[in-house]
Structure 1
């Protein structure tokens, strides 16, 4: 085992190399601290690990570049990033929602020939866990692991509508409502009015609010307690895709959400939870 002095200078006594194994060990320790505490600053991490702040900054910089860690721009704190999901999703059976939803996503994409995504709420964002593309879709971007704004996406609106007013205050107060396009809703009262409609209708819609030329619709996914645990969305080019003009599509999307919910143990009425 390496002595404390050897660990301080970054020597791997088995290989004689500087950095190497020690850097990996320290990076994993940073991830463990963030997993335990939710978020932490450079000084907090440096103090706990007993190393210099510049070393912690370099470790965090490397982890951020790999999307393993994300920095909260408001507070300067660091938290786990969703690049970790790309690793976790490769472990069979670890992400039950992804596993159960996958065939439903593929079926929906095949039927309506558009891009389908599965998203959950994490740290004030809608993060995409899985994606299926229709055979003739124009989309090529891989959204898996991407953090998307709640107020500007269909999945985000569904997830927000399922929260209590107090929870929405906390989430939106922390990240704000920045404009992604000229059509993004940035007024809180206007958003609240739309979320009431999302809760009533059971689906959320965006028309070029997240990206010009892109429309989308989403519905909730419930667990065995009737709590919203995710959202399934379908998106396509604005020139040909308007979900509310295609009742068959919306009904198919709602049924897909209920099928995934049933796989997660949901047996209750079709309704949004929370308010």
Structure 2
């Protein structure tokens, strides 16, 4: 995990010193896209939605540069100075600062003389605590997922490809946003689920073939693809920036979407599920999911 050093007093006078400097190590490398994630221009049949093109890892790289800059100025730093230090234009910086403020990573001072300047926020200060570091990270990630669930109106999931298997590691659901019923183990149904297909698109061809050789492509619904070559062609034609869909391929009555959240060589995705009667919301929900990927990836990267 990266090491953080943060100011303890968020509201009192801040004095810049080495002990109060936030140190972010290797995080830029952490959020670089995996070399197995390729740029693709052909739209596959699996995804027929128009969509917003959003690249979460680039937003996170920029956000980390902003956090480094804010941390170096313990008494506060203006947006203009941040723009100058990071090289980010203000029209890109302001939305980033808005996102970082809403997530609690930075906050604006209101005192006379420093009004409008940005300082390290409470969330980042807590994450920087050695005693509470792991717990704070877990809580922050869960809060981010809960907020995304509420903004989309759908259950959301984080899934990773670990040791050759699909694993759902975190999720947020509720009475009005029920989680999908895992009636078939997700590890055995990557060929049908949005989560599985999103993870498979991030592998190279040999990795995909290896996975499919270990897991039979069973027909789970009438819409499930069971022909290996057809699936491989669909995966190869899937644009990296387009949400992958599951239109009742895993389970009758459920539609899903997933977007990659690539962190270095790790393979992961952020997904949502909706009852089929809400399928008309899938396009809008998938775009909101895509926009929400940057805060989630930032929670994973810190």
TM category (shorter chain) comes to 0.5 to 0.7
Aligned-residue Cα RMSD (Å) equals 3.1
CA distance 1:136–1:94, change in 2 (3 Å):
closer
Within 5 A, what are the aligned runs for 1:235-250? Answer: 235-242=273-280, 244=282, 246=283, 248-250=284-286
Question: Corresponding residue for 2:173?
Answer: 133
TM-score scaled by structure 2? 0.49
Distance across 1 between alignment mates of 2:136 and 2:191: 26
Task: Give aligned pairs, total.
Answer: 170
User: Could you tell me how far 1:209 is from its partner in structure 2?
Assistant: 0.7
1:93 to 102, 119, 134: 134
Say yes or no: does 1:262 pair with 2:298.
Answer: yes
Within 5 A, what are the aligned runs for 1:186-265? Answer: 186-223=226-263, 225=264, 227-242=265-280, 244=282, 246=283, 248-265=284-301
Misfit runs of 4+, over 4 Å: 138-143
Contact 1:151 1:157 in 2 (8 A): yes
Unaligned 5+ runs, structure 2? 1-131
Say yes or no: does 1:183 pair with 2:235.
Answer: no
Say yes or no: does 1:173 pair with 2:213.
Answer: yes
Residues 40-78 of structure 1: CA deviation (Å, up to 9, x unaligned): xxxxxxxxxxxxxxxxxxxxxxxxxxxxxxxxxxxxxxx
Distance across 1 between alignment mates of 2:272 and 2:158: 9
User: Could you tell me how far 1:123 is from its partner in structure 2?
Assistant: 4.8
Within 5 A, what are the aligned runs for 1:60-71? Answer: none
Distance across 2 between alignment mates of 1:243 and 1:190: 27
Unaligned 5+ runs, structure 1? 1-90, 267-275
TM-score scaled by structure 1? 0.53
Per chain length, whose mean CA-contact separation is higher, i.e. which structure has more relative contact order (CA < 8 Å, sep 6+)?
Answer: 2
Distance across 2 between alignment mates of 1:103 and 1:150: 27
